[in-house]
Structure formats: structure tokens, C-alpha cells
């Protein structure tokens, strides 16, 4: 295959969405790394159906370190990092087919279309979503963050935008959304505690309300109807829960230290 890049996916129990991603990758690359972290559903069986997929299984070490391990298993140095609930639209597929992959000090920024169930969220936090996801691993790599991992982009690496979109089926309903918010909020609280951040009065009492106003009013989330309200409320709840848990852990530490 002319295009020498690998798609790398870290996943667990993603049988409901993985097919969309793997189908969209078939004509693009001869190497898709699926790095599974203990799936108990049909994720592994689905991955095995695709001839261009190399399936690996490993322990969960946090988002950053786990993605590092998965990236190292790729056949090619050019890496397109995707989540299992993401897929590539036709325009982006054509962009990838046209790339020469001859500039290792360039990283590519991708635009996202995020979905709550079947609803494309056009405004608010999700409506203006872009991420660098295509890069040469000799020059760009993931940091060690357990959550909200980031790519480390050296100053001499140029970023270029690609046309098209990553189709991100973020959550299927409010049940899945609430579980995801809880999980990420608790991990974020642990990360903040390790970094020495404080759950100040403003963070606990003011930040959640400001978050809602920012995404629902200032960034026009209300234009997405009911789903826009759900997204803004959930993000505000995430902010509240994150700092509430951080405050709780800090108080527990003070008590343990006899302060």
C-alpha cells in the first residue's frame, strides 16, 4: 500500500462502535493496531475479522502510557491515533490517501464531529473540536498523563489542518454519558491531587456554574436543543464532581496528617 501510516486504537469493551472505525480504515492502511485492555464483550472477536488488524492485549496504565505502548507496536512510523468510538468520513479518507507522508516534522490537525446518540452536536464545547492525531512517532509522542493525555509537539514541528472530519460517537445516551463523566471526573481529581492543585472555593462553587454559562450561552450550546442542554449540564457536573472529589481527598489527607 502506497500510504505508509498505521492506525493505532486503544480500547476496552467497544464492540458497539469498533466496526465503524475498522470499516473506514480498510482502504487506507495495511496496519491497524488494536490494543485491547481486557474486553469482556465482542471487541476482540470483531478485531480478528479484519485482515489488516494486528491485535494486542495489555494492561491499562493510564491513557498516556498505554497509548505509548500501543504506538510502539505499529508497523509504520506515521501514526494516526484514534479512539474506538471514532471513524473517518469520506473527505478525510481522501485527504489521507493523497498525503505523501514525506515530511516527518509535520503533524496533522483533524476536525471532529461529535455525536450524542444520533445527534450531531454543532455548538458548545463539542462544536469546535480539533485535535492533532496524525504524526511521525520519531518526533512526536504522548506524554505520561493518566488522563487528558497530550501529544508533545517540539517547536520545530509544524501543524497542518486536514479537510474532512473524524466522526466521534461520543456516547449513545445519557446513561453512558453520566458514567463517563463520573469516571473522568474521579481520574482528573486524582491527577490534580498528584500535581498539588487545590480545590479552592471558586473552583468548587463558581467554576461549575461558569462552565455551564460558557458552553450553553456564550458558545451557543442552546442551539443544539435538548442535547445541547444535556452536554452543558454534564460538563458543569464534571467540573463540580472533579473539584468536590479533590476537596474530599485533600481533607482526608489533612486528617491523616493530623492537621
Q: Which residues, in sequence order, are bridge partners of residue 126?
A: none
Where are the domains positioned within the chain?
5-171, 174-256
All residues at 6 or more sequence positions from 198 whose CB lies less than 8 Å from its CB, including other chains: 246, 250
Confirm or reject CATH 3.30.1540.10 for domain 5-171, answering yes or no: no
Using CA atoms, how far residue 95 sits from 22, 98, 99, 233, in Å, is 17, 5, 6, 36
Using CA atoms, how far residue 106 sits from 18, 100, 129, 193, in Å, is 28, 12, 20, 35
pLDDT digit string (tens) for the chain, length 259 residues: 445 899 999 999 999 999 999 999 988 999 999 999 999 999 999 999 999 999 999 999 999 999 999 999 999 999 999 999 999 999 999 999 999 999 999 999 999 999 999 999 999 999 999 999 999 999 999 999 999 999 999 999 999 999 999 999 999 999 999 999 999 999 999 999 999 999 999 999 999 999 999 999 999 999 999 999 999 999 999 999 999 999 999 999 999 888 6
Are 229 and 222 a contacting pair, CB within 8 Å?
A: yes
Q: DSSP letter at 216?
A: I
Per-residue model confidence (pLDDT) at position 1: 42
126 grid coordinates = 463539542
Are 196 and 155 a contacting pair, CB within 8 Å?
A: no
Which pLDDT tens digit goes with each residue over 150-202? 999 999 999 999 999 999 999 999 999 999 999 999 999 999 999 999 999 99
Per-residue model confidence (pLDDT) at position 66: 98
- pTM of the full predicted structure? 0.92
Per-residue model confidence (pLDDT) at position 201: 97
Amino acid at each position: 500500500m502506497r500510504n505508509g501510516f498505521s492506525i493505532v486504537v486503544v480500547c476496552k469493551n467497544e464492540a458497539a462502535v469498533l466496526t465503524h472505525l475498522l470499516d473506514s480504515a480498510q482502504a487506507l492502511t495495511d496496519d491497524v493496531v488494536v490494543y485491547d485492555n481486557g474486553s469482556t464483550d465482542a471487541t476482540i472477536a470483531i478485531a480478528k475479522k479484519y485482515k489488516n488488524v494486528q491485535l494486542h492485549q495489555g494492561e491499562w496504565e493510564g491513557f498516556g502510557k498505554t497509548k505509548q505502548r500501543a504506538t510502539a507496536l505499529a508497523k509504520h512510523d506515521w501514526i494516526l491515533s484514534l479512539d474506538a468510538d471514532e471513524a473517518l468520513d469520506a473527505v478525510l479518507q481522501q485527504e489521507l490517501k493523497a498525503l505523501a507522508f514525506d515530511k516527518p516534522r509535520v503533524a496533522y490537525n483533524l476536525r471532529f464531529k461529535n455525536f450524542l446518540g444520533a445527534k450531531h452536536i454543532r455548538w458548545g464545547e463539542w462544536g469546535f473540536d480539533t485535535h492533532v492525531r496524525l504524526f511521525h512517532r520519531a518526533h512526536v509522542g504522548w506524554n505520561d498523563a493518566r488522563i487528558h493525555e497530550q501529544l508533545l509537539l517540539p517547536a520545530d514541528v509544524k501543524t497542518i489542518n486536514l479537510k474532512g472530519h473524524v466522526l466521534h460517537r461520543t456516547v449513545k445516551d445519557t446513561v453512558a454519558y453520566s458514567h463517563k463523566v463520573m469516571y473522568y471526573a474521579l481520574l482528573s481529581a486524582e491527577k490534580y491531587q498528584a500535581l498539588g492543585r487545590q480545590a479552592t472555593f471558586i473552583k468548587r462553587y463558581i467554576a461549575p456554574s461558569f462552565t455551564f454559562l460558557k458552553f450553553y450561552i456564550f458558545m451557543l450550546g442552546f442551539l443544539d436543543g435538548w442535547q445541547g442542554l444535556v452536554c452543558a449540564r454534564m460538563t458543569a457536573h464534571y467540573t463540580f464532581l472533579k473539584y468536590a472529589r479533590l476537596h474530599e481527598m485533600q481533607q482526608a489527607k489533612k486528617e491523616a496528617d493530623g492537621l
